[in-house]
Amino acid sequence: QWSVELEEQEKVFLKQAAQVNSWDDIIRENQKKIIDLSDYVENLKADQDRLNSELDFIDTQQRELEHLLSPLETTVQQQSSSFGSHLIDKEREQMYSSACELDVRLQQMCHDLTEVIEKLNKCYSGQNNNPMQQVTKILNSHTEALKWIDKNAEFLKRKVDNVVSQSEIKRNEQEHSLRLVSL
């Protein structure tokens, strides 16, 4: 009877040992996952620290910029009040209209040159070492240069428009803040 009881206890022990083994495997897998997550969290903390330092740097630069712009804003405000904002607006509109006219003229010149070059290319497409072909090549390069100028003129026009709109926004903000201060 003792042998039978011992065999039963052995079966129970082996069953429990197998179950403990499987739990141990699960615990090891979870331990590995926890270590991976811990490493990931440490990396995130390091990234967050770098981001915070970059944000602090940007904040410092922003404060310095505001400090440097303050006298400039005061000067601009004084000048705008002495000259009158309507004169500045009128001058800005004239500059914008001149830029638009210049852009239209450049586009027309570019279009005209392109047409002339295309006609010359059609007329002298079969002739090599011809002075006209050399002139055509020169005109082609000039056309490319004009296209480049046109593209950059558009870019500069957008930049000027952006600066104008930003200055308008800033001026309106300053006028609003002055009104609030005077109240």
Q: What percent of the chain has pLDDT over 70?
A: 82
Token reading at 143: 């056309």
What's the pLDDT tens digit per position in 145-175? 778 877 877 877 887 788 788 778 877 777 7
- In angstroms, the CA 38 to CA 172 distance is 51
127: left (phi over 0), alpha (psi -120 to 50) or beta: beta
Q: Are 136 and 120 in contact (CB under 8 A)?
A: yes
pLDDT-derived band of residue 32, with 50, 70 and 90 as boundaries? Answer: very high
The mean pLDDT of 47-53, rounded to a whole number, is 87
- Residue 136 exposed, middle or buried by CB count within 10 Å (0-12, 13-18, 19+): buried
Rounded CA-CA distance 83/77 in Å is 10
- pTM for the full predicted model: 0.34
Distances 94 to 85, 104, 154, 168 between C-alpha atoms, Å = 14, 15, 17, 16
Which of the residue ranges 44-48, 124-128, 145-149 would you say has the lowest mean pLDDT? 124-128
Exposed e or buried b for every residue in 139-162, given b needs 16+ CB within 10 A? bbeebeebeeeeeebeeeeeeeee
